[in-house]
Chains A and B, each alone.
Chain A
Amino acid sequence: MDRARGAERDYVNTRHQILCVWSGVLCPIVMFTGLWPMAGFFPPHHPTASAADIAAIYQQGTSGIRLGMIFIMLAGALNVPFVAAIAAQMLRIESGRTPVLSMTQLGAGAAGALLFIIPALIWTAAAFRPDRPADITLALNDIGWISFVMPFTLAVVQNCAIGLAIVSDRNAQPVFPRWLGFFNFWVVLLFLPGGLLTFFKTGPFAWNGLLAFWVPATVFGAWYFVMAAFVIKAARQQAA
């Protein structure tokens, strides 16, 4: 009787973990849907575009932008269960230790969810009164893009915490493969160029540039799928 109940609990728990992981798989998909077909913010606006051009974008695509931003806000929230699923598996690595790395990851990841929501709110404000003076819309659009592409610091802390935990795993059967730790360290490197985008309006380090936007965005998107695959694997291994 007790054993049966225990088995049932493990099963339910694994199912919830996998549910949380799927939230992480949906996150980049939902975000991309909001950003691209709905808002038309993909590829990013040119940092050198004139106030009149930017105002025209908001005047012509008002509804799409308003709707797309709701999707981006949803994507931000979908981060939270995913980050929790990663933390739950990191806690297995840190079992018997003080789980500071799991907590760091959870904190940085949960705060990172706001870095999707805040730009979406700013762009929403820009689309709220599209007929206002163009310069104001331009400023709001700038704030939106800068707060969307530039903040790399939380992701750096989050990925370093994940990497460090994986590399320090002493379990006989490790929770994650060791190379996944080094993969997380590598992703950190790719975030660095975005941090200096305020200095540039053209070229690869501008907010629409190859090294500040395209490369980090691609790898960050891929990071969700790679992590999701291995968190599901770890959750199944935990139940076995």
Chain B
Amino acid sequence: MRPISSALDTTARGVPLPDRPPRHLPGEAGIWLFICGDLLVFSLFFVTFLYYRGQELALFRAARLHLDQGLGALNTLFMLSSSWFVASGVRAVRGGAARMAPYCFALAWACGCGFGVVKFFEYRAKIRAGITLNTNDFYMYYYMFTGIHFMHVLIGMGVLAFLTRYTWRGACDARKIRNIESGASFWHVVDLLWIVLFALLYLIP
């Protein structure tokens, strides 16, 4: 338990509150600076998208219908599953079942691969149908945002591959757990961003 969290969980008289567990920030503080910064950038992307969507509402509505919602949903499933595997891996490391962890991270990595394969076929179908990032404003955002998100997926898969190797030998000390949590937090953000992108590009009627 760290001094700050224990200070937060005591009353003014110094009596510990029994029902409130000590606060815990997963990973290190620096990764949260990065994550908040990343979310800030994507928020700006989303606001930009919604602003220009408001300007050309009819075009955006019509263009959206050409997206394959089935593939989008499949990718959402891949992302959610991978996040679940990552969370299971972190729980395994914390709970002393550390030998399970590398399998969890490897499965999460495999989900990331699945996401990439689906994305490849989705982009290919679009390009074959003659839809590129210059077709109209909707597809400009579609390619740019999903492309930048896909770079996050690739970086995240590098992180997951590292975590698989990192947890291979089993037992983890506090410093290792902190690093694992940092990597896992990043992957959850990749998942979160996809869910917002999916809603924004594929679902809003």
User: Interface residues, chain A, CB within 8 Å of chain B?
Assistant: 167, 178-179, 181-183, 185-186, 189-190, 192-193, 196, 199-200, 203-205, 210-211, 215
Name 10 interchain pairs, CB-CB below 8 A, sorted by A: A178-B28, A179-B29, A182-B31, A182-B34, A183-B34, A199-B133, A204-B52, A205-B140, A210-B48, A211-B44
User: Interface residues, chain B, CB within 8 Å of chain A?
Assistant: 28-31, 33-34, 37-38, 41, 44-45, 48, 52, 133-134, 137, 140, 144, 148, 151
Q: Which residues on the A side are within 8 Å of B48 (C-beta)?
A: 204, 210-211
Q: Which residues on the B side are within 8 Å of A196 (C-beta)?
A: 133, 144
Residue in contact with B37 in the complex, picked from A167, A189, A205, A211, CB distance below 8 Å: A189
Q: Which residues on the B side are within 8 Å of A178 (C-beta)?
A: 28-30
- Are A186 and B44 in touch, CB under 8 angstroms? no
The SS class assigned to the B binding surface is helix
- Are B30 and A181 in touch, CB under 8 angstroms? yes
Given contacts A186-B38, A203-B52, contact A215 B44 (CB under 8 A): yes
Given contacts A205-B140, A211-B44, A211-B48, contact A186 B148 (CB under 8 A): no
Distance A127 CA – B140 CA, assembled complex (angstroms): 34
Given contacts A193-B144, A199-B134, A211-B45, contact A182 B38 (CB under 8 A): no
Distance A181 CA – B28 CA, assembled complex (angstroms): 12
Distance A181 CA – B30 CA, assembled complex (angstroms): 8
- Are B37 and A179 in touch, CB under 8 angstroms? no
Distance A194 CA – B15 CA, assembled complex (angstroms): 55
Distance A193 CA – B44 CA, assembled complex (angstroms): 12
Q: How far is the CB of A149 from chain B (nearest CB, A)?
A: 16
